[in-house]
Amino acid sequence: MELRKSYFADVRQNGLNEIGQPRPRLDSPGHVTGKTAYFADRNFPGMLHLKMVRSPHHHARIRSIDTSEAEKHPGVVKVLTAKDVPHNVYTILILIQIGPEDETVLADGKVRWKGEAVVAVLAETERAAQEAAAKVKVDYEVLPAVFDMEEALKPGAPLVNEYHGQNYYLYDSGECRKVRFGDVEAGFGQADHILEQSYQSSPIEHAPTETTGCVVAPEGNDRFTCYTNTQAMFFTLDNASIILQMPGSKLHFVGGTVGGGFGGKVDVIVEPIAILGAKLTGRPVCFIYSREEEMQISSPRAAEKVVIKDGVMMDGRIVARKVTGYTDAGAYSRHSPYGAQKGAAHYPGPYTIPNVWIDTYCVYTNRTPSSAMRGFGVTIGDFALEVQMDKLARLIGMDPLEFRFVNAYRDGDMKAHRQPTEGAALIECMQEASRAANWPVAEKYMAMSSYTKGA
């Protein structure tokens, strides 16, 4: 890695002792000696293992659940169903007033995605829990499912989630988050060329080497200590407190040393049910996702569809951009309404465009609920935007890098969400990339600066 100090030299602070120094990491000696303690490195005598019975169907009504055989299985200590969970319907972002509560801790009457948790089995060994889980009998009436976002948005599509009442998240602005800036139709009217293209992604797994999980120990004074690899301690504690209808003062969360997260450990999934198990049995409980669960059950990065329509002039200026983004939330909200909204704030990308129209939708389908991942709400949008930029440049016969200079945002430029640009540095990144990659651009672009409209 090289630090290029010639850029922005006038505003860089020098003369610091510790900042800017490549100090060795204080946690690395623990890592290389195997001494770093992750949550799963705590072991308690008498610890029970929790395994989930999961839905084999994408969408089904639960007619009945029979746990009697499972309960008789040797080593089984407790079997939990929806009726054991004090506040079974929840949503993670309720703490910052983003509702409605739309997800069950354990399925109640219905399953909405293949893999949904239905029954929790607690047993002396992992093997006993697994074997007993296979003996739980659930009688399902299979319902029609919908997987395609466009299908889901059509009238008459199977309703994925009754708590919403329709297959999209209802923002205060309506069926989508909107950004309106300038007059996009007038912009298209004046454009030399119009290009409308559609981009698609597929769900992506965080795949941390350490799977999601927790270990819970009852403290004997009515308090429970939960060792967890959550990315957000109080978020998890407060949601657990709501789900368990247990005062937060009874909960003690210990974590902070995590084997990779990438956004996959922001959901509150394993802790509440494990604490409930510990409370009802009085025993320590561990609930750790198998690799298979991490891959297919834990929330992935949402699949997204992005439709971009641009009006561009022969001189390279983009004069209008309309973006319609669809985020596939799967069966439940988790953090997806937030992510779709973040997309609306991100478009039209780091470019100054006078006429912009953005709609971003959060759509429900019968698949594994998606949630946050590294670059949440932006990564797939950037793929779409930057491939579109390449196509536009080629359409008007301009060099793709030069084309970006023409449109790059600079300090003071008004963004589509009506904030003036501050602290821009796109131009300088592109100038340095031009040099590093030996991709020459015209001198006038190398003379540009993010500071002013100059040049």
Partner 1 sequence: MAKVPVQFTLNGSEKAEFVDSGTTLLHALRDKIGDTSPKGGCHQGTCGACSVIIDGELRLSCLTLAETCNGADIRTTSGLAEAGVLHPLQRAFLDAFATQCGFCTPGMIMAAKVLLDHTANPSREEVVEALSGNICRCTGYEPIIQAVLTAARANSQNAA
Partner 2 sequence: MAIRRGRGVAAINYPTGMNLGGDPTQALVHSTPTGNFMVTLSSVDLGQGMKQIMAQICAETIGVPTDRVIIDTADTDTGPHCMGTFASRGTHRAGNAVIQAAKEARQVMLEVAAEELEVNASDLETDGQGNILVKGAPQKSISIFDVALSAHFKRGRSISGRGMFLIPRSYPEKETGAMKPSTCYAHACTVAEVEVDDETGEVTVLTVKNVFEIGRALNPKMVEQQLVGGSWMGISHALYETTEPYYPNRDYGGTDFNQYLMPGPGDLAKTEIIVLERPSADGPFGAKGPGEMCANPQIPAVANAVFDAVGVRIDTLPITPERIMRALKAQAAG
* Residues at the interface with ligand FES (CB under 6 A): 209, 260
Q: What span, in angstroms and rounded, lies between the C-alpha atoms of 26 and 182?
A: 51
- Shortest distance, CB of residue 79 to partner 2, whole angstroms? 25
Among 191, 243, 270, 344, binds partner 2 (CB under 8 A): 344
Minimum separation from the CB atom of position 167 to partner 2 (A) = 13
CB 253 within 8 A of CB 274: no
Closest-CA residue to 86 (of 108, 53, 63):
108
Does 424 help bind partner 2 (rule: CB under 8 A)? yes
* 20: CB partners within 8 A, 6+ apart: none
Rounded CA gap, 343 and 345, in Å? 5
225-264 positions binding partner 2, by CB under 8 A:
230-235, 237, 251-263
Interface with partner 2, residue 404, by CB under 8 A: yes
Q: Does 374 bind partner 1 (CB under 8 A)?
A: no
Shortest reach from residue 1's CB to ligand FES, in Å: 18
CB 290 within 8 A of CB 102: no
Position 35 contacts partner 1 (CB under 8 A): yes
CA distance 391 to 403: 11
- Residue number with the smallest Cβ distance to ligand FES: 209
Report, in angstroms and rounded to the nearest whole number, the Rg of the chain calculated over CA atoms. 26
Contact window for partner 2 (CB under 8 A) among 78-86, 104-112, 184-192, 412-420 = 412-420
Burial (CB count <10 Å: 0-12, 13-18, 19+), residue 425: middle
Q: How many residues bind partner 2 (CB under 8 A)?
A: 126
Least distance from ligand FES to the Cβ atom of residue 210, Å = 8
Q: Is 94 in the site for partner 2 (CB under 8 A)?
A: no
User: Distance between CA atoms of 34 and 15, rounded to whole angstroms?
Assistant: 37
The residue from 218, 277, 300, 316 that contacts partner 2 (CB under 8 A) is 300
CB atoms within 10 A of CB 209: 8
- CB of 206 or CB of 309, closer to ligand FES: 206
The yes or no reply on residue 368 touching partner 2 (CB under 8 A) is yes
**Alpha carbon 164 to chain centroid, angstroms:** 20
Report the nearest approach of partner 1 to the CB of residue 288 (Å): 8
Binding interface with partner 1 (CB under 8 A): 24-25, 27-38, 40-41, 43, 125, 127, 206-211, 258-260, 262, 290-292
